[in-house]
Each structure stands twice: as C-alpha cells, then as structure tokens.
C-alpha cells in the first residue's frame, strides 16, 4: 500500500486523519516538531488502529533535515500537510513567525515533491479565506477576501503557492481543503483536541468550563443580525473531516481529479449559533454551562457555513455526524483527559 507522509500528524486533525488512513491500509509516516502536540498521541493512534505509524521528530523549517528525510523516504506517494501554526491572535503579534512556520515549510516540501516522479498533495486550508462572504452558503467560487490576520494570510498565500506550482510542475497534483469549524474527537476518546493554555476556540472552552478548569464561558456578542443574535458557524465533526482527507488523497492517487489543483469546502452545510452549540452541549452532557454574554470579539465574521455541493458531487464525500455527536465526543474526551 502507498506510503503517505502526514506532517503535523500528532495534532488535532492530523491524528484523526492518520487513524482513517491506517484504517484504509495506507502506510503512514508522521513528522511533527511537537511544538503544539504530545508524543503520547502516537500511543492513542496505535491503540485505536492496532498499528504504530512511523514517526520522526522533524521541524520542517530546517531545510537540510527535510531534504534528508525525503532522501530516506524516497517512495512517498502522497503528503497531507497539516503542520502549521494556527492561533489567530498570536499571528497578529508575531507575523514573521507565522510566515516562517506556515510558508517556508510549505515551500521546502513542494521543492522536495518536485524531485519525485509523481506526488499527491493535500493542503489544510480554511474557510477563513472567504472572510465575511456576501452570499451564504459559501461556494468554492466565492471571492477570497483580504485576510484579517497573518494566520489567514498564510492560508491564502499557501493556496496561491500551490496553485502556481501545479501550473508548471505536472507531476504535482494538489487539493486544498477549506475547513469550516472542526470540532469533536474520536469516539474511543483515545485522541482529541489538546489546546495548550487558554483555548481560543469555542468547543474546548465549553468543555474546559464544564469540567471546572475555566470559571465561565464568554459568549462574544448577542447583537448580531442572526436569529438569536450570536454568530453562526458550520461545526464539522473531526472524524468526518479526517475521512474527507483520505477520499481527497485517493482522488489524486487514482488520477480521478479534474485539474492539477482543486479546492473543496469541508463543512456540514448547516449553520449553528453559539447558543445552539451551548444548548447541544448541555443536552448531551446533562451539565449546566456557566456562561455570560459579553461584547463582540474583534475580527469575528457574523455568519459562515459551507455550500457542500462540490464536495458531495465531485469528491463523493458528505458529513455524517451531527453537532450533538461532536459535543458528546468532545465531552467524553475532556473527561478522559482530566481523569474524571
């Protein structure tokens, strides 16, 4: 079976994708610099799949070790590239760190892929490229808006770098997957989301509040032009998302793609408000969540949810799990992590 490199494979989405790749029989090699992940995740993956993936601690910013890695693993057929920094606020404070972490690493990998006879490449992009879209649901043809942060800009520039590369190097085939809001965890609760420090994202903040690590959840604004006044997002279960990566990779490996560079939205197509997410959590956990409404958070868009038609029809992928499933699994994971 084909050997697939997963960069950032010990992270949240990466680890779930490694599980799905191994379930499909692929041979996986993970590289990760452990800057925002733990080596224990390797055990979690092994315990779910019964097979330990190959692992090398590697920082993709280090050009020569990256070259050596590809010399050693010269039979790699595909790369799923998750490794990147993703904290929006931090990226505003440290733009150069973000451009180095997210852009140089991408360039180094593509340079190595250029040397291979053929390479399939999957890139972690984000719905953040659309900003506040003029029309909902958001299709892949919606214009890419001026990025709100260096983090968002690295996703836009990353897509452009890949598109430009694929134009002139026919041996590289690529798909950029634009994720909406990934949440939840594997049903086994052996892997999940492990934010370091205070979580910036809604769902880990909810579960950490419920377990008692955080005093209270702040709901950022209830005066938006939405039915209940809180912002709307498309929350997609991480296991559904992981499966989409395997399907996208297969599309390239089996030459079923329509062009050398394609983009797909990965979402459920359903928008949920912040209050709906809280209520889903309360329903499935039986816990009462301590939250209060505060002012808006700078940079938040009002509403974003995916048009899933292209992913459904062309990729042949559709999300299967619900928001309740995601909240149930996120809660189970939080309880396991905290030893409760």
What value does the CA radius of gyration of the chain take, rounded to a whole number of Å? 19
Annotated catalytic residue, options 26, 151, 224, 261: 151
Q: Minimum distance between the CB of residue 306 and ligand UD1, rounded to whole angstroms? A: 12
Give the footprint of ligand UD1 on this chain (CB under 6 A): 86, 88, 126, 128, 152, 181, 200-202, 205, 217-220, 231, 233, 274, 297, 299-300
What CA–CA distance (Å, rounded) separates 230 from 233?
10
Q: Minimum distance between the CB of residue 223 and ligand UD1, rounded to whole angstroms? A: 12
- The token duo for 96 is 């150069």
Q: Minimum distance between the CB of residue 217 and ligand UD1, rounded to whole angstroms? A: 6
- The token duo for 182 is 């990934």
Q: Which of 146, 56, 157, 62 is nearest to 102 (CA)?
A: 157
CA torsion through residues 240, 242, 244, 247, sign: negative
How far is residue 50 CA from its own chain's centroid?
24
* Closest residue to ligand UD1 in the complex (CB): 231
Verify cis geometry, omega within 30 degrees of 0, for the bond prior to 137.
yes
Closer CB to ligand UD1, residue 118 or residue 200? 200
Q: Which of 294, 210, 320, 307 is nearest to 266 (CA)?
A: 307
Closer CB to ligand UD1, residue 202 or residue 241? 202
Mark whether 151 is an active-site residue: yes
Residue with tokens 């010399």: 71
What CA–CA distance (Å, rounded) separates 323 from 222?
21
What CA–CA distance (Å, rounded) separates 300 from 229?
13
Closer CB to ligand UD1, residue 106 or residue 217? 217
Q: Minimum distance between the CB of residue 185 and ligand UD1, rounded to whole angstroms? A: 14
For 12, 85, 144, 196, the CA distances from 99, given in Å and listed in that order, are 21, 9, 19, 21
DSSP state at residue 128 = G
Q: Minimum distance between the CB of residue 63 and ligand UD1, rounded to whole angstroms? A: 27
What CA–CA distance (Å, rounded) separates 203 from 209?
10
Helix (H) or strand (E) holding 114: helix 105-115
Q: Minimum distance between the CB of residue 182 and ligand UD1, rounded to whole angstroms? A: 6
Closer CB to ligand UD1, residue 188 or residue 201? 201
Q: Which of 8, 21, 14 is nearest to 60 (CA)?
A: 8
The catalytic residues are 151
């Amino acid at each position: 079976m084909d050997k697939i490199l997963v960069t950032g494979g010990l992270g949240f989405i990466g680890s779930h994708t490694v599980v799905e790749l191994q379930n499909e029989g692929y041979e996986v090699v993970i590289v990760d610099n452990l800057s925002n992940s733990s080596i224990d995740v390797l055990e979690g993956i092994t315990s779910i799949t019964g097979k330990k993936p190959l692992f090398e601690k590697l920082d993709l910013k280090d050009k020569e070790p990256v070259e050596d890695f590809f010399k050693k693993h010269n039979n790699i057929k595909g790369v799923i590239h998750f490794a990147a920094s993703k904290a929006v606020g931090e990226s505003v404070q440290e733009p150069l760190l973000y451009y180095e972490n997210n852009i140089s690493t991408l360039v180094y990998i593509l340079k190595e892929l250029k040397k291979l006879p053929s390479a399939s490449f999957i890139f972690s992009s984000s719905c953040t490229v659309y900003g506040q879209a003029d029309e909902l649901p958001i299709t892949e043809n919606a214009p890419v808006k001026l990025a709100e942060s260096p983090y968002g800009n690295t996703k836009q520039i990353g897509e452009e770098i890949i598109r430009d590369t694929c134009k002139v190097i026919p041996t590289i085939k690529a798909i950029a997957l634009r994720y909406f809001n990934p949440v939840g965890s594997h049903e086994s609760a052996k892997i999940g989301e492990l934010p370091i420090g205070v979580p910036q994202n809604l769902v880990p903040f909810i579960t950490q509040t419920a377990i008692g690590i955080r005093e209270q959840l702040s709901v950022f604004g209830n005066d938006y032009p939405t039915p209940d006044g809180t912002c709307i997002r498309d929350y997609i279960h991480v296991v559904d998302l992981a499966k989409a990566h395997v399907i996208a990779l297969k599309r390239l490996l089996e030459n079923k793609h329509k062009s050398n560079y394609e983009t797909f939205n990965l979402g459920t197509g359903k928008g949920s408000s912040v209050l709906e997410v809280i209520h889903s959590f309360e329903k499935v956990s039986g816990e009462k969540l301590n939250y209060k409404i505060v002012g808006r958070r700078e940079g938040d868009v009002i509403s974003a949810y995916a048009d899933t038609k292209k992913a459904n029809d062309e990729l042949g992928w559709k999300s299967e799990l619900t928001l309740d499933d995601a909240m149930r699994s996120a809660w189970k994971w939080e309880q396991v992590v905290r030893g409760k």
